[in-house]
């Protein structure tokens, strides 16, 4: 027979799962930004991290930050993947990762970043990123260059760490075609990046509010 503590933990986990599913359904149904109906919006911290050589992914990252900051009481940290620390990860309520497309996959620097979750930061086996919100964005030189595959590999790494992944700006996240130059990113793609940042902030706040009860 399960102990009362085990039963309570199972009940709380089930409640969180159902609540998050309802939240994501409401947001996908058209509630672009959650109204707190007079309540104080909880403060959340979002880490936006990326790798960029030509400047395209960095430009998208800055737009993601703009979108996240548009949600009240949201603290946003913008860092390149190579300088992210364990404290950056564990103190964040959400992590948004961006990568250029290298041979239809995330760049080596972004892959090393995820590898560091285990070998440098000790995320596993305690699943220290569990129930944090995760999202992805990508840039590629051509229209069909593997941007969706790249975002899916990023999201897969997050799912493997029991994070709650969300999309925004597109089916799997925000993406842009750079044509080898950051100036190739158009206004619609930057708007998608802002939408992604806003949606992650909205979902992170809702989960934070549920978890605090």
Residue range(s) defining the domain that contains residue 99: 42-211
CA angle, corner 176, sides to 174 and 178, nearest 5? 160
Mean pLDDT of the chain: 86
Helices (H), the chain: 4-28, 56-69, 86-90, 108-119, 147-159, 187-211
17 and 80 part of one domain: no
Q: What is the average per-residue pLDDT within 24-51?
A: 68
Domain-embedded: residue 36: no
Each residue's pLDDT tens digit, 141-194: 887 789 999 999 999 999 999 999 999 999 999 999 987 666 789 999 999 999
Of 29 and 16, the one with more pLDDT: 16
pTM of model > 0.85 = no
Number of domains in the chain: 2
24 and 110 part of one domain: no
Does the pLDDT at position 6 exceed 50?
no
């Amino acid at each position: 027979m399960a102990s009362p503590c085990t039963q309570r933990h199972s009940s709380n986990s089930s409640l969180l799962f159902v609540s998050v599913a309802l939240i994501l359904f409401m947001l996908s149904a058209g509630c672009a930004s959650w109204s707190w109906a007079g309540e104080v919006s909880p403060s959340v911290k979002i880490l936006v991290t990326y790798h960029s050589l030509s400047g395209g992914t960095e430009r998208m990252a800055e737009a993601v930050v703009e979108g996240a900051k548009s949600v009240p009481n949201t603290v946003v940290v913008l860092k390149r993947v190579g300088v992210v620390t364990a404290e950056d990860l564990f103190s964040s309520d959400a992590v948004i990762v961006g990568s250029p497309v290298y041979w239809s996959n995330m760049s080596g620097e972004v892959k090393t970043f995820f590898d560091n979750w285990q070998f440098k930061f000790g995320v596993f086996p305690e699943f220290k990123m569990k129930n944090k919100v995760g999202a992805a964005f990508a840039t590629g030189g051509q229209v069909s260059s593997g941007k969706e595959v790249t975002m899916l590999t990023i999201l897969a790494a997050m799912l493997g760490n029991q994070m709650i992944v969300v999309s925004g700006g597109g089916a799997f996240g925000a993406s842009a075609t750079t044509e080898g130059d950051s100036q190739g990113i158009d206004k619609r793609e930057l708007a998608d990046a802002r939408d992604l940042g806003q949606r992650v902030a909205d979902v992170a706040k809702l989960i934070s509010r549920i978890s605090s009860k």
